[in-house]
Amino acid sequence: MEWLPFSTAEWVAIRLSLRVATVAALTSLPLGILVAFVLARKRFPGKALVDAVVHLPLVLPPVVTGYILLMLFGRRAPIGAFLEQTLGIVFSFRWTGAALACAVMGFPLMVRAIRLTMEAIDPRHEQAAQTLGASPLWVFMTVTLPLAFPGVLAGIVLCFAKALGEFGATITFVANIPGETQTIPSAIYTYTQVPGGDEGALRLSVVAALISLCTLVVSELIARRTGRRGVNIE
């Protein structure tokens, strides 16, 4: 790949960014679907609060979100320490932490996308499935979720795109360690901080834009194949 105008460090950042974005988008998906479903369909006291918490990463400056993550998921922090001891999962200064930061930052977008499509589903479809013997869980799996597929897809795309661009929370939470936590945006930031780094910043920005273009094209193709009415089950 020498013919491509990227330094090794840049290649590392690109690969890492892809990994982080993919992991962030996919691992946050189950929780995203669950939260979206609860917000779309249930009424309970404190619902607005849950909604607000979900939106928090959007509302707070990324740096603040990064600090909060540090305070919760750092090695010395309550949840972080617990996870390390019980499951051996370490976030601090690892790419997993970058993925967590990206997932958190992308979460409001994902939840909203899924929620919107779920709210648009005609409840009579779910009623029809019920009369056919599907329990609420099965209705969710076989009707709600497939019909909400356009939203799920959009949620993945949004979270992925956000993860490609997320930088403030990531760098605050897990710093900017080449090969471990230096994603494309961190690398771009580094370039913008030095005089004459514009060219490198531009190069990587184009890469990020191209990756997102690919993602969009792919998602568009998937969406077209599955159609307006969500995923087709055979």
Partner 1 sequence: RAAGEPRPILFFAAASLQTALNAVAAEWQRETGKKVVFSYAASSVLARQMESGAPADLFASADLRWADWSQERKLIRPETRRNLLENRLVLIAAANSGDQIRIAPGFALAGAIGDSRLATGDPASVPAGTYAREALTKLGVWDQVSPRIASTENVRAALALVARGEARFGIVYATDAKAEPRVRVVDTFPAGSHAPIVYPFAVTTASTNPDAQVFLNYLASPTAVRIFEAEGFTLQRRGS
Partner 2 sequence: MISFACKLARPGFDFDVTFQSNAGITALFGPSGAGKSTVIRLLAGLTRPDRGHISIADEVVLDTDRQCDVAPHKRRIGMVFQDAQLLPHLSVRANLGFGRWFTPRDLRRIGFDPVVEVLGIGHLLSRRPDSLSGGERQRVAIGRALLTSPRLLLLDEPLASLDEDRKLEILPFIEHMRDEFGIPTVYVSHAVEEVARLASRVVKIENGHVIATGTPAEVLAPTSLAKAAGRFDALSILSGRVSRYVEDYGVTIVDHPAGEIVVPGRIEPSANAVRVVIRATNVTLAIGRSENVSVRTVLAGRIAHIETDGGPFALATIELKGGEQLKAYATRLAVDRLGLDAGDHIQALVKAVAIDERGISGLHVVDQV
Q: Which does 58 bind (CB under 5 to 8 A by kind): a second copy, partner 1, partner 2, none?
A: a second copy
CA distance 39 to 26: 20
Residue 232 binds to partner 2 (criterion: CB under 8 A) = yes
Site string for a second copy, 47-66 (x = CB under 8 A): xxx-xx--xxxxxxxxxx--
| Residues in contact with 86: Cβ distance below 8 Å, sequence separation at least 6, in sequence order | none
**Tokens encoding 148:** 């909400």
Cβ contact 25:156 at 8 Å = yes
Element containing residue 105 per DSSP (H, E): helix 95-120
Residue 168 binds to partner 1 (criterion: CB under 8 A) = yes
Q: Which does 196 bind (CB under 5 to 8 A by kind): partner 2, a second copy, partner 1, none?
A: partner 1
- State which residue, 36 or 100, has the beta carbon closest to a second copy: 36
Q: Provide, rounded to whole angstroms, the least separation between the CB of residue 136 and partner 2.
A: 8
The backbone region for 170, taken as left when phi is positive above 0, alpha when psi lies in -120 to 50, beta otherwise, is: alpha
Using CB under 8 A, which of the segments 27-35, 46-54, 75-83, 138-146 binds a second copy?
Answer: 46-54
Residue 124 binds to partner 2 (criterion: CB under 8 A) = yes
Q: Provide, rounded to whole angstroms, the least separation between the CB of residue 107 and partner 1.
A: 22
Residue 8 binds to partner 2 (criterion: CB under 8 A) = no
| Residues in contact with 35: Cβ distance below 8 Å, sequence separation at least 6, in sequence order | 50, 54, 111
- State which residue, 54 or 164, has the beta carbon closest to partner 1: 164
Q: Which pairs count as long-range contacts for 37-41, CB under 8 Å and 24+ apart, including other chains?
A: 37/114, 37/115, 37/118, 37/140, 37/144, 39/111, 39/115, 40/114, 40/115, 40/118, 40/119, 41/118
Using CB under 8 A, which of the segments 48-56, 131-139, 142-150, 174-182 binds partner 1?
Answer: 174-182
- State which residue, 155 or 168, has the beta carbon closest to partner 2: 155
| Residues in contact with 190: Cβ distance below 8 Å, sequence separation at least 6, in sequence order | 176, 182, 197
Tokens 């990531």 locate to 170
Interacting residue ranges for a second copy, rule: CB under 8 A = 47-49, 51-52, 55-64, 67, 108-109, 112-113, 116-117, 119-121, 123, 150-151, 154, 158, 161-162, 164-165, 167-168, 185, 188-189, 192, 201, 205, 208-209, 211-213, 216-217, 220, 228
Interacting residue ranges for partner 1, rule: CB under 8 A = 63, 66-67, 70-71, 74-77, 92-93, 168, 171-172, 174-179, 181-182, 189-197
